Amino acid sequence: MGGGLGNQMFQYAFYLTKRKNAKVYLNFYFLKKNAEHNGCELDRAFGIQLQENSLINAIVMVVRKLLLFSHIKIIRLVIKCLNIIGIRVIHEPKNGLFQSHNHERIRGLNIYLGAWYSEKYFINQREDIKKQFCFDILKINQQSKNMLDIIKEVNSVSIHVRRGDYMIGDNYKTHGDVCTVEYYKKAIGIIVNQVKFPVFIVFSDDVEWARKNISLSFPAYYVNWNNGFDSWQDMFLMSSCNHNIIANSTFSWWAAWLNAYEDKIVIHPVSMRKDIETPDAFPKTWMRVCS
């Protein structure tokens, strides 16, 4: 397990599908080591309580440390020896490409590293996954309750603008500026042409940038109060909207996927990443818009 809530949801969905055919464990070494985002969020958002296995944890910790030094010849030899005795590391491709053999049962201890961000891994268990990822409306704060009332009363369209960590260092090289101003302009144009009297609900970690750069000629609300441990409430509110304009983010991906409206329009960017295409990242029923 690693990353923010969106990544953890993909990993948990992948875990559930693997559990059908084998004994599977969740490991939190990477999540704890990097102290990313808000820690393990599945319990906070959905009441999913997760358990660890201390022996598996120890093995994973050792293997992860070996991988850090895999450029050293003797360490590569050790990793080969682990493969021989049935301890393997299976990496998700950088482009998130769905690989059907990852559903197959392989003997031995297999350590799966990645987010596994393709609906294709769990599409056959779609309804079960939706039941797992059910928000508790009683947990949301008063501001979110007020916003939910508005969302339900209008033809609501969520817009997710993610900047923050995407604009820093290596993250910028891989994820920054995928969703440009032009992307949002085109996406909003599509919504305006297809949706009567839309009301836009903008979710962003940089609301001021969104106000200045994304032009909206229809009513709009800006959500910026769900921070830290309350951030999951943004996903809930986005999923409650009639339509969604998402960012290259697993967070708004899941919000759109959990949107229960049958006639929903979901607009997504060309790729999840700036440096590489991600052909299996988005459902075919969603609308792709180039920047």
Q: What is the pLDDT of residue 27?
A: 87
150 with 162: CB under 8 angstroms?
Answer: no
Give residue for tokens 């440096």: 275
Predicted pLDDT of residue 21: 77
- Closest by CA to 87, choosing from 50, 121, 60, 57, is 60
Question: 252 with 158: CB under 8 angstroms?
Answer: yes
Architecture of the structural domain at 136-288: 3-Layer(aba) Sandwich (3.40)
The Cα–Cα gap between 23 and 91 comes to 19
CB atoms within 10 A of CB 178: 20
Per the CB < 8 A criterion, the answer to whether 125 and 17 are in contact is yes
Q: Given pLDDT bands bounded at 50, 70 and 90, which one contains residue 270?
A: very high
On the question of pLDDT at 51 being above 90, the answer is: no
101 vs 93: CA distance, rounded Å? 13
Whether 57 has a pLDDT exceeding 90, the answer reads no
- The residue ranges of every structural domain in the chain are 5-124, 136-288
- What is the reported pLDDT for 101? 80
87 vs 187, which has greater pLDDT?
Answer: 187
Residue 120 tokens read as: 């294709």
Residues whose CB falls within 8 Å of the CB of residue 83, separated by 6 or more in sequence, listed in order: none
Is it the case that residue 277 has pLDDT exceeding 70? yes
Q: What is the distance, to the nearest Å, from the Cα of residue 187 to the centroid of all Cα atoms in its chain?
A: 20
Q: CA–CA separation, 279 vs 281, rounded Å?
A: 6
Query: What is the pLDDT confidence band of residue 36, given thresholds at 50, 70 and 90?
Result: low
Which of the listed ranges 38-42, 83-87, 191-195 does the model predict with the highest average pLDDT? 191-195
Per-residue pLDDT at 176 exceeds 90: yes
Instruction: Report which of residues 27 and 178 the model is more confident about.
Output: 178
Please report the sign of the dihedral spanned by the C-alpha atoms of residue 108, residue 114, residue 115, residue 118. negative
276 C-beta neighbours (distance < 10 Å), count: 13
Judged against a pLDDT cut of 90, whether residue 68 lies above it is answered with: no
pTM for this model (two decimals): 0.93
10 Å CB burial of residue 110 (0-12, 13-18, 19+) is: middle
